[in-house]
Structure 1
Amino acid sequence: MKLIRLICILLTIVSCSENKDKILPTERNLTESVYSSVTIQPDSLYQVYAIVAGILDENLVEEGDVVSKDTILMQIINNTPKLNTQNAKLALDLAKENYSGSAAVLDGIKDEIVAARLKHINDSINYYRQKKLWKQQIGSKLQYDTKKLNYELASNNLKLIQSRYNRTKNELQTQVRQAENNYKKSLITTKDFAVKSKINGKVYALYKEPGEIITTTEPLASIGSATRFIIEMLIDEVDIVRISENQEVIIHLDAYNGDVFTGKVSKIYPKKDERNQTFKVEAVFKNLPNVLYPGLSGEANIIIAKKDSVLTIPKAYLVDDDKVKTDDGLIPIKTGLQNLEYIEVLSGITKDTPIYKPE
């Protein structure tokens, strides 16, 4: 009698367990999405670098300040460029003085040309006079040859001095232009010690204090948009092929517990990050939160597809990804959309087909 009662109890437990794990497919609205963690960053965020080395003299802005393009952010000091600028100015003044000043080199050569031209004229007169007399057999051959030689030497000397004048003039002009370029270059270098903003935006961080050494390899500040923010997401390579621009994004931020924000995919970076096997995807807010800060984190779901009133079953009831357990045994089904909990059934069973949770 006790044995019969025990068997009945066991049968009852088994029956209740089977009934508990038996369900019917249900119709529901189904949304398929791709999950991602989220980091908020200002649009156009960039690191500010100096293009010259030196010592930070002064920060002219504070963190949180809104700045315009070309606003001077900080001033760097270095005496070497100033000395170089002064030396370049002295070299330019000397080059100009040599070219056109009171002690111009060309003036001396001009005087030589005048003297050479007078001698050339005088030797020319003497030569042609002696030549005419020699034709009349007056005078000696030595006198004729001497006058001719003096004339030829005067002609060559005049040509040489004129050539030296032109060459010296070109060299002095080149020296002036080179000195001007060096001076302008030194002025530009001096201006580079004033670090300016490249965009209209907000100062989010300052990394150096006055008195610290500045190099060209360390960032000095961080600047980005003051009003426009980007939602950065890292998408697994398995899901990236399903992501496209303008897809809807549902965002939950840790700083806004319980609030839901929407956005849309704005950019997909084509290069995979080999370190974590993900692709970077950006989205923009449709409804911007009241306050945002760089680095705020959260999570997001990128909506891939939506369907209304589709036949679904819990994913836990799937066997081998494409079968379900029924009263008639395992039956293959064709599936469609899915989310974390449910999957769409396209064919194989109906809403009246009981299914069992696999053991």
Structure 2
Amino acid sequence: MKKLLLTAGIAILATACKEKIPVYTVQQRTLNEAVYASGEIMPQAYYFLKSNSADLLLQVKVKEGDAVNRDQVLAVLGTPSQLTQSDILHRQVALAGSNAEDGSATLNELKERIEQARQKYEADNLNAARYTDLAKDKAVAEKDAEQTRLEAANSLHTYRSLQQQYLAQKNALADKLLQTREQLAANNQVREGKVLKSPVDGSVFKVYLKEGELAPLNDPVMMIGLPGKFKLELLVDERDISKIKTGQKVYFETDVYAGKQFAATINKIIPVLQKESRSFQVEAAVLDSNAFYPQSSVEANIIIRENIRALMIPADYLLKGDSVYLQQGKEWRKTHITTHTKSGEWVEITGGLHAGDIIAKKE
């Protein structure tokens, strides 16, 4: 990473008449100190949907730019036979659920038979009671009365038998529904990670694969996020991370909008060193409302100090070991100084020089 020092104003170099060497009068100047960082611009909230195993991408149900709802199925992975089996199980569950409802055709048929049996029993029971009374009065033979009572008993048995049959059938249909649901749940567990659903109400930013392509393990299939707001994911060199604080301004550029500068604010510092790059990741909320493109590369300056007054000298006046030739009376003496921020053209001085001192650039 490189550190940028932005200064306001242009140095005026004078030439000593006698010694014919360039000299410079030390003075205060306005400067902005910044730390360079690079990275990507991303949605403020985003998710990579991945497969939990290497599988074929069977179905892609959305395209880039589509608005999606939470838990909406976006893609299906696996083999065609697995997809067919899943469809069959879903249909079986739907059918079993329909059969188990109180108003299903199977149960309604039994209800009608039960109602007919109830009516027949009530009629037979009434007839048996009438014949029994007539037999007491010797109006009919006892044998006929006994026959009507037997018919009433048979009707009652049929009525109760149909009621028990109804309960048994209802329980059997409920068990069938439970079994199919368990089979579907087991299938879903096996296929967990193969049916990709949206975790949020948002938009599809990127679809990385096409139907029929192999989705490698843990590789993203698509990126989902919340539209409208963006953030920067930046890498800061480990030597500069101590200077970074939340709330600092960030000015950045992206090739998508070449030559245009945008603003952001540091809002998160992830305190874990990335060993490969020897850098830390920081995040910054983008303040502009432009339509940015996720994963576009950015280059940024994180402002450490802004519009401050400091003693400055041209960098080419500084000697090795942080010293300069300082005019003392009529002589030039090599004097050690203390520096702070350096860039290609300017050096900030924190000790050893004062405003108005004159220094020379000698070979």
- Give, in angstroms, the shift of residue 295 of structure 1: 2.7
Q: Structure 1 residue 346 and structure 2 residue 350: aligned?
A: yes
Matched with 1:306 is 306
Residues in 2 aligned to 1:38 and 1:322: alpha-carbon distance in whole angstroms: 34
Unaligned 5+ segments in structure 1 are 1-13, 94-175
Q: Which amino acid aligns with 2:205?
A: Y
Residues in 2 aligned to 1:338 and 1:56: alpha-carbon distance in whole angstroms: 54
Question: Are residues 20 and 46 of structure 1, via their aligned partners in 2, closer, same or farther at CA, if it must alter by over 3 Å?
Answer: farther
Matched with 1:79 is 81
- Give, in angstroms, the shift of residue 199 of structure 1: 2.1
Q: Structure 1 residue 317 and structure 2 residue 314: aligned?
A: no
Question: Are residues 223 and 17 of structure 1, via their aligned partners in 2, closer, same or farther at CA, if it must alter by over 3 Å?
Answer: farther
Residues in 1 aligned to 2:214 and 2:32: alpha-carbon distance in whole angstroms: 55
Question: Are residues 203 and 347 of structure 1, via their aligned partners in 2, closer, same or farther at CA, if it must alter by over 3 Å?
Answer: same
Q: Structure 1 residue 221 and structure 2 residue 225: aligned?
A: no
Matched with 1:334 is 338
Q: TM-score, normalised by structure 2?
A: 0.60
Residues in 2 aligned to 1:263 and 1:217: alpha-carbon distance in whole angstroms: 31
Matched with 1:161 is none
SS in 2 for 1:79: helix
Q: Which amino acid aligns with 2:350?
A: L
Question: Are residues 332 and 195 of structure 1, via their aligned partners in 2, closer, same or farther at CA, if it must alter by over 3 Å?
Answer: same
Matched with 1:98 is none
Give 1:155-194 correspondences, 5 Å limit: 181=182, 184-186=185-187, 194=195
Residues 143-202 of structure 1: CA deviation (Å, up to 9, x unaligned): xxxxxxxxxxxxxxxxxxxxxxxxxxxxxxxxx999975553335556865421112332
Residues 266-297 of structure 1: CA deviation (Å, up to 9, x unaligned): 22222212122111121111223x22112322
Identity of aligned residues (%): 30
Q: Which amino acid aligns with 1:341?
A: E
- Give, in angstroms, the shift of residue 338 of structure 1: 4.8
Q: Which amino acid aligns with 1:357?
A: K
Give 1:200-349 correspondences, 5 Å limit: 200-213=201-214, 217-288=218-289, 290-306=290-306, 308-327=308-327, 328-349=332-353
Residues 115-150 of structure 1: CA deviation (Å, up to 9, x unaligned): xxxxxxxxxxxxxxxxxxxxxxxxxxxxxxxxxxxx
Matched with 2:47 is 46
Q: Structure 1 residue 26 and structure 2 residue 27: aligned?
A: yes
Q: TM-score, normalised by structure 1?
A: 0.61
SS in 2 for 1:220: strand
Residues 65-87 of structure 1: CA deviation (Å, up to 9, x unaligned): 22222122124464347658979
- Give, in angstroms, the shift of residue 34 of structure 1: 0.8
Q: Which amino acid aligns with 1:185?
A: A
Give 1:16-165 correspondences, 5 Å limit: 19=20, 21-51=22-52, 55-76=56-77, 78-80=80-82, 83=85
Matched with 1:135 is none
Question: Are residues 315 and 208 of structure 1, via their aligned partners in 2, closer, same or farther at CA, if it must alter by over 3 Å?
Answer: same
SS in 2 for 1:275: coil
Matched with 2:99 is none
Residues 211-260 of structure 1: CA deviation (Å, up to 9, x unaligned): 34556544321223322222122111111111121111121223333322
CA contact (8 A) 1:33 1:339 kept: no
Question: Are residues 84 and 197 of structure 1, via their aligned partners in 2, closer, same or farther at CA, if it must alter by over 3 Å?
Answer: closer
- Give, in angstroms, the shift of residue 28 of structure 1: 1.2
Matched with 1:104 is none
Matched with 1:356 is 360
CA contact (8 A) 1:317 1:357 kept: yes
Residues in 2 aligned to 1:215 and 1:335: alpha-carbon distance in whole angstroms: 53
Residues in 2 aligned to 1:263 and 1:59: alpha-carbon distance in whole angstroms: 35
SS in 2 for 1:186: helix
- Give, in angstroms, the shift of residue 264 of structure 1: 1.2
Q: Give the CA RMSD over aligned residues.
A: 3.7
Question: Are residues 350 and 68 of structure 1, via their aligned partners in 2, closer, same or farther at CA, if it must alter by over 3 Å?
Answer: same
SS in 2 for 1:255: helix
* Number of aligned residues: 263
